Structure 1
Amino acid sequence: MAAHLSLAWFHQRASGVHVAHAGAALFGSLCAASLLAGVSLCLLLPGLPPRGVLWCCVLVGGGLAWRANAGPLRGGRVLGVLLLGMALAGLQAAHALQAQLPVALQGQSLILRGQIVELPVHEVRRTSFEFVVDTDISQPASLRGQRLRLAWYDDDPRPRARLQAGSRWEFPLKLRAPRGLRNPGGSDAEKYALAARISATGFVQKPLRARRLAGPSGIDAWREAMSARIASTTPAASSRFVQALALGDTRALDDTDWARLRAAGLTHLIAISGFHVGLVAGFCALLAGGLWWLLPALCRWLPRPFAAGGGAVLGAFGYALLTGMAVPTMRTVVMIAVLVLARCLRRRQRIADTLGLGCIVLLLLDPLAVLGAGFWLSFAGVAWLLWCLPGDAGEGGGKGIMPILRGFFAAQAVASLGLLPLTVVLFGQASFAGPLANLAAVPWWSLVVVPLSLLGVLAETLHAGAGPWCWQAAAWCFDLLWPVLTRIADSPLAMLWLPEARWFALPLALLSAFWLLLPRGLPGKPLVLLLWLPLLLPARELPAVGAVELTVIDVGQGLSVLVRTAHHSLLYDMGPAVADGYDAGERAVIPALHGLGVRHLDLAMVSHGDNDHAGGLQAVASVFPIPQVWVPAGSPTHGTARCVAGQQWQWDGVRFRALHPAEGMPYLDNESSCVLRIETATDSALLAGDIGQYVERKLLAEQPASLRNAVVIVPHHGSAGSSDPGFVSATGARLALVSSGADNRFRHPREAVVRRWCAAGAEVLDTSRSGALQVWIGRQGLQLRERRSDQPRLWDAVQRRGQAAGLCYAPEILRP
């Protein structure tokens, strides 16, 4: 990001062009902002307006945008463009949602033919890839031409190695509509699927029946082959970074690499950025201009400046096509094309209007691009730079290296401060090492490593065997700086994780950044720093002394519950981790803890050793050092102490008591689950792990009073072998919470179990429908928050199908 921000600043300083425009030009920056506002407002709605309303917005907005820029309707153009943006986003979103897998095909076995697109990701037991279904009539009508995200599970990597980009296959598949976890601080897989037009996700049901119909072909195949060539001819370990910088292929980067890049604020430099495209465009312009210089006769057909401009546009577009057409690359391509066109027409064009036109073109092509973080970081970064570093700034400052250095440092400062609010909101983190790391990495990677990497790709394309020396030189140059950047990223103060903030925190922080970046001498700059507080120090909503908060984290088919008192935190189970690479501890629990503002864990309890409860422990412990880990005696999970019935302690006026397993009881998997009771002055909660009806009856016979609880985590995810009728009745629960995965193969929670809890007077909620569930027990009674209904989104799969989040509803429970 910072690299092409600096490039835009230098371009603007060189041009020094400022042209005033009267009114709101249809393709100017004001209309671009209005179109963006309309698209964003529509996608923030909890549901889509009716199609009739959207088409009315098209007609009214189109009329205002075309005619209303003078007379009594002066200023109506901006409103018209805003209406057009809302309608365009709504119609595109409706089409994308309608194209998702219909309910009738959910979970069915299908045989589909099509082509692998993008680059398959090979892991230890799984290969994930995107697949576009053929359009012939032999394929299901609702899936023809649709994009699917699939996985092939196999312990043997050799069959999966044949899954190459551009190859055609026939697969036996089992599909479902895109679904994802919904947690505080977590990513939204359903939003990503909508933006990427993913119609369904699934897996290859019987790999032995998969048939390869044709070998790899096309741009994706070339890209994968070139990436493999870099890996095989560049012995340095950093060849993986050369693959990423040259082709945007980040598959070889591991979790440690990404963690360091995030901590150092360098992720924007790894993938293909606008600066890469600018380098390619500049080289192609020089190449075309040189050809016209060598063959002057060509000027009779086309002037040399026009040829150079055409070469720049073709080179930029071709390179963007080869590297996946990401938002930053397309923005740069559009800006280059507009600048070339303006020069050919001998018209002066402000950089701000060029940026606005790029925004308009991208939104017209794909209004759902605003769902991606790259769109906002790309356009917001350049917009900040144009606002804060005008082209005539610093005139009279003299020529030489010092003005250039001042401009570069100013660009980095603007990028760091201006993009900090977006970074915190989009990723929940702030990199304090980012500005320092970027000062070194931006010029070195962008001006040395990237050109060598691209030169190697060009040389290898023109003549096989000519590229390795460039790639090896790029890897050597990369290795010179990477150890220093690694030390910066590994420093304890490099990264700060921040809790989720309220909706108004972002506009307040942007206003503060805007005020701080205004010219010197304006009053109130120290005071506007206070506007950062809602973003950087948001309220953590900790319970009062004597109260407790339970958060059932959405981990899929498993369990993880965060228990917080006023000054302590306990984590009960950590969700599953499977050999194919999915780790709920890493992907769900850790982001949720960060999003809720948890800074440390005082105790972790692993109810029993099954993977769906204990799998995520290692990932969580690597981020949150845990002083104590309690496990049942005989559990395969290592702990520091045993969970035994009778143990009790008190935190902040809240009493904790273990009810099971008894001392001396042999380890019996589910039946040895550690059962924990949490008692406040007003109500209590029961965390029952995976106990079955045998232990439920045993507890009912031995400790009937302890089973009386207002909140119960339903045992064993609502399986048929749990929730004994006597146990359910004895709890007197008002809230029965189930943690299960969407469309899980065990069919949890079972319908009979749900009816049993509902008949006993409890409201039953399931994380697969509601997302994360937060419950407060205190003097104000029970309070509940469901993640999906509290923050509804128009792409929410459950809401879209008209299903209620609750399996049965209790209106007396407060929902703040």
Structure 2
Amino acid sequence: MRLGIFALVAGLLVLRFLPSLPAVWLSALLALLGVSLLPSRGYPLGFFLIGFAWACISAQWALDDRLAPELDERTLWLEGRVAGLPEVREGVVRFEVFQAKSRRAELPTRIRLAWYGGPQVRGGETWRLAVRLKRPHGLVNPQSFDYEAWLLAQRIGATGTVKSGRRLEAAAGALAWRDALRQRLLGSGGPRTGALAALVLGDDSGLTAADWRVLQHTGTVHLLVISGQHIALVAGLLYGLVAGLARLGWWPRGWPWLPSACLLACCGALVYGVAAGFEVPVRRACVMVALVLLWRWRFRHLGAWLPLLAALALVLLVEPLSSLQPGFWLSFGAVALLILIFGGRLGAWAWWRSLGRAQWAMAVGLLPLLLALGLPISASGPLANLVAVPWVGMAVVPLALLGTLLLPVPAVGEGLLWLAGGALELLFRLLASIATWLPAWLPSSLPVGVWLLLMLGALLLLLPSGIPLRGLGWLLLLPMFCSPQSRPPQGQAEVWVLDVGQGLAVLLRTREHALLYDAGARFGEFDIGERVVLPSLRALDVRRLDLLLISHADNDHAGGAPAIGQGMAVERVWSGEAGVLPAQLRARDCPSGYRWEWDGVRFSLWRWAQAGDANQSSCVLLVEAAGERLWLTGDIDSRAERALLATGLDLRADWLLVPHHGSRSSSSAAFLKAVAPRAALISRGRHNGFGHPHPTVVARYAALPARLYDTAEQGALQLRLGTFGEARGLRAERRFWREK
């Protein structure tokens, strides 16, 4: 039985690692073959094939439900019902509609929309909207959030921007009830109402970027996102209530207490899950709790691992795309670690010892998973969770849920919510101090062999004391702190043009030095420097920058620079508009004409002294390695290009970063003739509002001829200067969910 379930789970999990999906007919054939093997001794292979086939077919259905390519960037009128709880941040209303219909085209089942300056939108309402639709697309870098995988896991087939719309029907049903309850919570007047809404309803829109930063640095994100811990807490409180009454003799003798406790706990968990929106993580938690309660009632003799394995299989059968989300791996990994630690213990432990042991297991046991997923590692997590877990579990959540239930009672519900919010405020202040003292660490990408050693080391450390060679685990963890990335040899430079949307960030790395040319944009609380550039630098094992060179002060080039300065050591900052940059960067003016050499690679700077605007003020960088040359040009226009031509410098180069993202005002014919690049690099956002690159500019490069590499189409671009090779786009690394 266990072997069959294990094989089924293995087949379902293979989906996560597929570069492409097999044809549906082939998947169906594999499923039939698997069914035919079930009555034989090859039943494990049969279960594996059935799981694999079902996962592939389900994923293909999700891919087929994406917006048709011919509708990409078209504006259509559609009608749909608002799903979930809309969120409003910085004047932008974001929400999803499902079962959207249009007279002119067939649309995906779920669409995620943004309405800039839009009116109030409530969950459950029906709207008629004019929407500019887009196919799912995300940034692809050495390390950053995979937006396309997230959209597919949510089965969202399109995104879009609302141009106008009107409400057709008012909200009704459970969605309307949840939205009304959220408004009541947010309007309760107490502290931390946004965090309370996250705990009660799973609505995290009230948490600021600073809140998320504190939670991430202290490893406590799981406490403010409704997860298995919260669902299990509610179920445990109800189970404990019945068990306590039975022990005191106050439970009716005609009702067996154990099945009653399990049934009440399961119902309570489901009600809490429905209130929280019953999204995929909540459904996963409810399934796990329900199976654990069933195991406690009737199947305890089968061991503790069976309910975990059954829950894993059931979750993946219901939604095979769950494996695309990091939370799936972390939640099941955490439960498996707890079973490993507490399943075979002898005797009862004190509560404080159990809590400490659990935090130790999470810190060490989840380390390989965090490294594999590229997530930050919180060194302060065990300490922070020792305080936060019981504080939230035993004080905040009960007060918040009880206060929500008693909101109809004047003053009582609001009072309890105020107490819960006050407790959260105290906790956030403590966590903020811990985060400042010991922030999270972003690891570098590790080779598979090193990762396997780390996993072995973590398992050894989790074994009971007294086991031979247990201390060897500490030695096996040491490679995590070493430098696993290969460095360019003497005389060569590694170049990364990161995929930062409509902006620019270029990493130049020699054998012993690193330079970052521009840092991407910042849009309100969404900081490309913090979310994309900094994690990518860490993944590439860049721990410090010898030079942060900001071409000019426009947001799409300089907006992420403060986050880079705060996130890693930067020796110096130069810019074409140093006086306009934030004071904390301590930037100096671009020293035009300055030349230097790092590890056999030569660099030189130029800036137009008579520049009339920000773009013309761009600090331009020329890099030469083993005779191969690259120009990084910022946003210079044709006038600045003429000024550069007038210097009489030798402008010939093999590579050219297309000036101003391919704007029509740049890449003049005379400049391109002088540079004569064999290849050009474009950094831009897909479907950007400026129309970059302009068709006339693309035609000029084609006439040279020069091969064009485009981050919007190929993801982050990597090349090795000094080898006269080609560039490589990260989208070439196939993932079945990524658009070709």
| TM-score relative to the length of structure 1 | 0.84
| Partner residue in 1 for 2:514 | 569
Q: What letter corresponds to residue 669 of structure 2 in structure 1?
A: P
- What are the equivalent positions in structure 2 for 1:720-731 lying under 5 Å apart? 720-731=664-675
Cα distance, 1:290–1:546 mapped onto 2, change above 3 Å: closer
Q: What letter corresponds to residue 622 of structure 1 in structure 2?
A: Q
Native 8 Å contact 1:453 1:471 kept in 2: yes
Partners of 1:344 and 1:692 in 2: CA distance: 74
Cα distance, 1:405–1:124 mapped onto 2, change above 3 Å: closer
How far residue 526 of structure 1 moved from its aligned partner, in angstroms, is: 3.9
| Partner residue in 1 for 2:477 | 532
Partners of 1:531 and 1:759 in 2: CA distance: 56
Native 8 Å contact 1:433 1:494 kept in 2: yes
How far residue 739 of structure 1 moved from its aligned partner, in angstroms, is: 0.6
Partners of 1:123 and 1:656 in 2: CA distance: 42
Matched, 1:99 2:99: no
Q: What letter corresponds to residue 672 of structure 1 in structure 2?
A: S
Native 8 Å contact 2:577 2:614 kept in 1: no
| Partner residue in 2 for 1:35 | 8
SS at match of 1:512: helix
| Partner residue in 2 for 1:474 | 420
Post-superposition Cα deviations, 1:654-688, rounded to whole Å, max 9, x if no partner, equal 22212331x3x142333332221112233221111
Q: What letter corresponds to residue 11 of structure 2 in structure 1?
A: G
| Partner residue in 1 for 2:308 | 355
- What are the equivalent positions in structure 2 for 1:253-264 lying under 5 Å apart? 253-264=207-218
How far residue 291 of structure 1 moved from its aligned partner, in angstroms, is: 11
Matched, 1:716 2:660: yes
| Partner residue in 1 for 2:459 | 514
Q: What letter corresponds to residue 127 of structure 2 in structure 1?
A: W
| Partner residue in 2 for 1:372 | 325
| Partner residue in 2 for 1:143 | 107
How far residue 288 of structure 1 moved from its aligned partner, in angstroms, is: 7.8
Post-superposition Cα deviations, 1:41-70, rounded to whole Å, max 9, x if no partner, equal 233121111112111111112333x323xx
The match for 1:337 among 277, 280, 290 is 290
- What are the equivalent positions in structure 2 for 1:442-481 lying under 5 Å apart? 442-460=389-407, 463=409, 465-481=411-427
How far residue 588 of structure 1 moved from its aligned partner, in angstroms, is: 2.3
SS at match of 2:612: coil
Q: What letter corresponds to residue 41 of structure 1 in structure 2?
A: V
Q: Which moved more, 1:421-430 or 1:552-561?
A: 421-430
Cα distance, 1:722–1:323 mapped onto 2, change above 3 Å: same
How far residue 478 of structure 1 moved from its aligned partner, in angstroms, is: 3.3
| Partner residue in 1 for 2:162 | 204
Native 8 Å contact 1:562 1:572 kept in 2: yes
Post-superposition Cα deviations, 1:599-635, rounded to whole Å, max 9, x if no partner, equal 2223222223333223333333333454533333697
Matched, 1:270 2:215: no
| Partner residue in 2 for 1:735 | 679
Q: What letter corresponds to residue 558 of structure 1 in structure 2?
A: G
Matched, 1:690 2:635: yes
Native 8 Å contact 2:681 2:710 kept in 1: yes
Cα distance, 1:394–1:283 mapped onto 2, change above 3 Å: closer
Q: Which moved more, 1:331-340 or 1:761-770?
A: 331-340
SS at match of 2:9: helix
Partners of 1:92 and 1:366 in 2: CA distance: 8
SS at match of 1:792: coil
The match for 2:541 among 593, 597, 611 is 597
| Partner residue in 2 for 1:787 | 730
Partners of 1:220 and 1:522 in 2: CA distance: 54
Q: What letter corresponds to residue 332 of structure 2 in structure 1?
A: F
Partners of 1:739 and 1:278 in 2: CA distance: 47
Q: What letter corresponds to residue 179 of structure 2 in structure 1?
A: E
Matched, 1:620 2:564: yes
How far residue 511 of structure 1 moved from its aligned partner, in angstroms, is: 2.3
SS at match of 1:620: helix
| Partner residue in 2 for 1:214 | 169
How far residue 40 of structure 1 moved from its aligned partner, in angstroms, is: 2.6
Structure 2 gaps, min length 5: none
Native 8 Å contact 2:463 2:470 kept in 1: no
Q: What letter corresponds to residue 320 of structure 2 in structure 1?
A: P
Native 8 Å contact 1:61 1:84 kept in 2: yes
- What are the equivalent positions in structure 2 for 1:74-113 lying under 5 Å apart? 76-113=42-79
| Partner residue in 2 for 1:675 | 620
Q: Percent identity?
A: 38
The match for 2:184 among 224, 229, 244 is 229
| Partner residue in 2 for 1:172 | 130
Native 8 Å contact 2:214 2:435 kept in 1: yes
Partners of 2:546 and 2:510 in 1: CA distance: 11
SS at match of 2:508: strand
Partners of 2:447 and 2:387 in 1: CA distance: 35
Q: What letter corresponds to residue 640 of structure 1 in structure 2?
A: A
Q: What letter corresponds to residue 79 of structure 2 in structure 1?
A: R
How far residue 758 of structure 1 moved from its aligned partner, in angstroms, is: 4.1
Post-superposition Cα deviations, 1:286-344, rounded to whole Å, max 9, x if no partner, equal 778999999969x5xx7554444322222211211221324554344224433544566
Partners of 1:415 and 1:582 in 2: CA distance: 29
Post-superposition Cα deviations, 1:168-203, rounded to whole Å, max 9, x if no partner, equal 211111010011111122111000000001111111
The match for 2:39 among 51, 67, 79 is 67
Native 8 Å contact 2:242 2:251 kept in 1: no
The match for 1:46 among 19, 39, 51 is 19
Matched, 1:796 2:732: no
- What are the equivalent positions in structure 2 for 1:386-401 lying under 5 Å apart? 386-391=339-344, 393-395=345-347
Post-superposition Cα deviations, 1:388-421, rounded to whole Å, max 9, x if no partner, equal 3324x223xxx6xx54433332222112211111
The match for 2:147 among 189, 198, 216 is 189
Partners of 1:792 and 1:147 in 2: CA distance: 25
Native 8 Å contact 1:675 1:689 kept in 2: yes
Partners of 2:296 and 2:64 in 1: CA distance: 43
CA-atom RMSD, angstroms? 2.8
Cα distance, 1:411–1:606 mapped onto 2, change above 3 Å: closer
| Partner residue in 2 for 1:15 | none
Partners of 2:557 and 2:292 in 1: CA distance: 57
Partners of 1:179 and 1:521 in 2: CA distance: 52
Partners of 2:14 and 2:483 in 1: CA distance: 24
Aligned length, in residue pairs: 735
The match for 2:531 among 587, 593, 612 is 587
SS at match of 2:553: coil
Matched, 1:749 2:693: yes
Q: What letter corresponds to residue 209 of structure 2 in structure 1?
A: D
| TM-score relative to the length of structure 2 | 0.92
